[in-house]
Structures are given as structure tokens and as C-alpha cells.
Structure 1
């Protein structure tokens, strides 16, 4: 085990080799940098979305309702209809909704 650890440390110190333990160092670095860049872009987009919700709230819109509308728009129309039918059924069973249409 000690020999393996020593071999890893030696290969890590060998800057002339493009490989470290069979891993292409430059390719690995490129993947890591791309992921980091995309993660930073995602953070920026998330902040932008928060700003839009805050702006909508500032003009009087209900952000919970907006989030629900966004979620519903992502659904397939058939799936959305199924979910609405289930919700109506549950509400009716609890005496909270309209009579189910037949």
C-alpha cells in the first residue's frame, strides 16, 4: 500500500508528464474549469430569476401563484389535465371543491 501511495505522489510531482495515474491532466482541468464556469452562470441566472420575481411582487403579483403557473406551463397538457382531475377529486372528497364532471 505504501508503495502505491509513493507512486501516486511521484507521478503528481512529475510536471513533464501529461498524465497522472492514467488521467489526462489537461483534459481533467478543462472539464473542471467548464463545470466551474457553468456553475457560475447558473448562479447568475438564479439571481436574475429572483430579481424578476421580486419585480413582479413589487408590482402586486402573487409570486406563489406565478411559481405555480410556471410549473404548470412546464407540464404536458395531458399530464396537467390528469393532475387537475386528481386535485378536483380530492377537493370534492374533502367537501372543498366542485362536483366532478362526468
Structure 2
């Protein structure tokens, strides 16, 4: 046996248990906050829908606003190229 004593292992477990409990409780609080925010978000979308806005398009607009401008422009150019190749859109003059 080493000179650390019998209770030192229990103390380490107690500290780990306390840390674990603190992490779990923090995560639970964050989950509750996230749920509340998601509920608020649903309410806002419902409100927008009630005012005649298309929620699907509204979500797409929000996703686009989150994108980097250059990345978005590049993706739009590629999308236009694919749609043009499939005969789904006409490209403006000079873009052929």
C-alpha cells in the first residue's frame, strides 16, 4: 500500500462525480434554453406565415444570408450553368 491513504481514492471519485454532475446540469440547462429558442423561432415563423409570407422561402433567405457572399455567388453560377445545360433557364446574353 502507498502512503496516500484509503480515503484519497474516494475523494478523487467524489470530485469526478461533482464535475460530471456539473457538466450534466449545464448541458441540461443549455438544452432547455435551446428548446425555448426553437419554440420562439417556430412562433416567429408562424407569425410570418400569418402575415402571408412563405415560410419555406423565408428559411431559404435566412440560409442564404448566413453564407459567405463569394461562396453564394459561386454556387449560384454553378446552379445557373446546370439549369441552362438542362434547358431549364436561358442565360443572359454574353454568358453562353
Task: Give the shorter-chain TM-score range.
Answer: 0.7 to 0.9
Q: CA RMSD in A?
A: 2.0
Task: Report how many residues are paired.
Answer: 86
> 1: distance between equivalents of 2:39 and 2:18?
32
Matched, 1:29 2:44: no
Q: TM-score, normalised by structure 1?
A: 0.76
Matched, 1:67 2:59: yes
Secondary structure in structure 1 of the residue aligned to 2:90 = coil
Q: TM-score, normalised by structure 2?
A: 0.80
How far has the Cα of 1:44 moved from its partner? 0.6
Q: Are the aligned partners of 1:56 and 1:63 in contact in 2 as well (CA < 8 Å)?
A: yes
Matched, 1:96 2:88: yes
> 1: distance between equivalents of 2:33 and 2:52?
29
> 2: distance between equivalents of 1:45 and 1:18?
39
Which residue of structure 2 aligns with residue 6 of structure 1? none
> 1: distance between equivalents of 2:49 and 2:38?
17
| Structure 1 runs, 4 residues or longer, greater than 3 Å off | none
Measured against aligned partners, the alpha-carbon deviations of 1:27-49 in whole angstroms (never above 9, x if no partner) come to 11100000000001001101111
